[in-house]
Chains A and B, each alone.
Chain A
Amino acid sequence: MAKRPLTLQINGKLVGPLEVPDDLMMIEFLHEYLNLTGSRLGCGQGICRACVLILDKPDGTSEEVRTCITGAHFFNGKQVRTIEGLAQRDASGAVSQMSPVQQKFVEHFSFQCSYCTPGYVNAATIMVEKLQRQPVKRSELEQEIEAALGQHICRCTGYVRYYQAAKAVVEELGLVREG
């Protein structure tokens, strides 16, 4: 397979240009080229969403993208975040403080085996950031969480705790308005 140069920003750092095969999927690029192994390969067919990363768009909004079915070169010139980029780190690179979503997922024991967790964290992070730009009415909160997490699959039956944690973090950050 032919290769071509790939340059992108991952977790705030510029990566590349690296010579990457034209048909390499993003998840393999993250795992094999950058040793960012937190994005999980689940179904490999774009269904379970354990592999999603956060694509930050120029207009300031973000969306999740499935890295198992999206080519690495799709992200050329773009800005993305992976699960490794959400917590605060100290000068040595060690995690010093989890993100509010991560913290709340831990407090609620939201996951068991944790295989699907990176996908859930990224999806919930996108939702929280969206609500920081525009808070949600209380009457629409559950709908908002369903829209954000509803397509993610967890095989340890963790849905309820994920949903509770997502609701708690949104409420604690004051992103709910009455109505």
Chain B
Amino acid sequence: MRNLLLVTVLFSPALFAAQSSEVERGAYLARAADCVACHSTDDSAPYAGGLPLESPFGTIYGTNITPDKEFGIGNYTADDFYNAVAHGKRADGANLYPAMPYTSYHLIKREDSDAIYAFLMTLEPINRPAPETSLSFPFNLRFGLSFWNMLYGSELQLAPTTGKSEQWQRGEYLVEVLGHCGECHTPRNVAGAMQQDKTLQGGVILGYLAPSLKAEDLLARGWNSEDLATFMAHGISDQGSMFNEMYPVLHHSTQYLSLGDHQAMATYLLGEQPGPSAVISTQPLATLSESAQRGRQDYLNLCAGCHAAEGQGVPHVAVAMRGNTTLRQADSRNLLRVIDDGIAEQQFTGFERMQPMPGFADQLDDGQLRDLLNYLRQTWGGLPEDMTAPQVSELRSQKGH
């Protein structure tokens, strides 16, 4: 009788519907949290682990989080899973490396962690080990992280929500906790921890700037709520396109979020009543510095074929320079890096795409690159001050750091 009752409960349509809706919610939340980005590689099954994450302390590999009992999390309970996500503790008690963004996830709602767990448990178990993480001494000693965790493990505190709309609060949760945006957009200290007094003020990863997401900075760089939501949905807007480390975030995560969640994130980032976004008019050539005026010819020689002589861009080929948010960053390392390295062909959502941009590192010496940067910054970026060749040289030398 008891068995019959159990069978009845297990196969009751109502319970099945509840479980399936929890799994669907978990799948959505796993995308919002972008789990797949680190827990997969291009040639692995999703969530089967293996992505190498370069850190100043060594290379850390994303783990297999399919429900495989040998190599995955098949033996994890929902409690174990929550402990790993929110506190960086493996089921066996060992510390995870904080490449796992538990410092952001630690404020995850328990029901959301349970939903992600329920979703992961429906995946096909992949019986494959992820490569072993091997860090240099003393970072290879996981127990040392207990001290790190004591200092930084639960440092993230959300801003007070008094008087804030539900939309704003949802945006805060998506940006700060699930989306773990601060893991890149917040600068880190020497111990590799996010500097919580500088949250979302911009960080540097492998030579690229994850720019400041503070409302005043976003507005100064020409963002408004509608375009920010569009950018997260499609990876491209009037302000430019996602590139470098943000580009896969579109493909793994933000494109799948609902319009309501895109708007919530924009509301949180820009504020409930955002001020006007800056309008920067094109500066005439004659008003530019000598260096920038010299840079105009390099622009026409190497850039204008795709970005157009007056910076208007070409649809589906190359983004516009007029209004481009990257040109408005006082720290021009992204502009410099893109000019040097180029960008591979890009596919965005909504049938949009951009053609590959060649790199010009071999074509431009430091002086020419300085002139070109000054031309771009001054003409369309609203940044009148000149960069110097030593500054350019210094930024070039920081590639990959």
A→B interface (CB under 8 Å):
1, 4, 22-23, 25, 45-47, 66, 68-71, 73-74
Contact = CB atoms under 8 A, between A and B. Distances in A.
Given A71-B302, A71-B304, A74-B302, A45 B297 contact: no
Contact of B306 (A1, A23, A46): A46
Contacts of B296: 22
B358 interface: yes
Interface residues of B, number: 13
A22 B300 CA distance: 7
A69 B305 CA distance: 4
Interface in B304-329: 304-306, 309, 314, 317
Given A23-B309, A45-B306, A70 B358 contact: no
Interface in B343-359: 355, 358
A73 B297 contact: yes
Nearest to A24: B300
Contacts of B300: 22-23, 71, 73
A73 B301 contact: yes
Contacts, number: 36
Given A45-B355, A47-B355, A74 B306 contact: no
A46 B317 CA distance: 10
A47 B297 CA distance: 23
Say whether chain B's binding surface is mostly helix, strand, loop, or mixed.
helix
A91 B358 CA distance: 41
18 contacts: A22-B296, A22-B297, A22-B300, A23-B309, A45-B314, A45-B317, A45-B355, A46-B305, A46-B306, A46-B355, A69-B305, A69-B306, A70-B302, A71-B297, A71-B300, A71-B304, A71-B305, A74-B302
Contacts of B309: 1, 23
Interface of B: 296-297, 300-302, 304-306, 309, 314, 317, 355, 358
A23 B302 CA distance: 10
Say whether chain A's binding surface is mostly helix, strand, loop, or mixed.
loop
A70 B298 CA distance: 10
B50 to A, nearest CB: 28
B8 to A, nearest CB: 63
Contacts of A74: 301-302
Contacts of A70: 301-302, 305
A100 to B, nearest CB: 29
Given A22-B297, A73-B297, A46 B358 contact: yes
A136 B25 CA distance: 57
A4 B301 CA distance: 13
Contacts of B305: 25, 46, 66, 68-71
A68 B355 CA distance: 15
Given A1-B309, A23-B309, 20 more contacts: A4-B297, A22-B296, A22-B297, A22-B300, A23-B304, A25-B305, A45-B355, A46-B305, A46-B355, A46-B358, A47-B355, A66-B305, A69-B305, A69-B306, A70-B301, A70-B305, A71-B300, A71-B301, A71-B302, A73-B300
A119 to B, nearest CB: 16
A70 B300 CA distance: 8
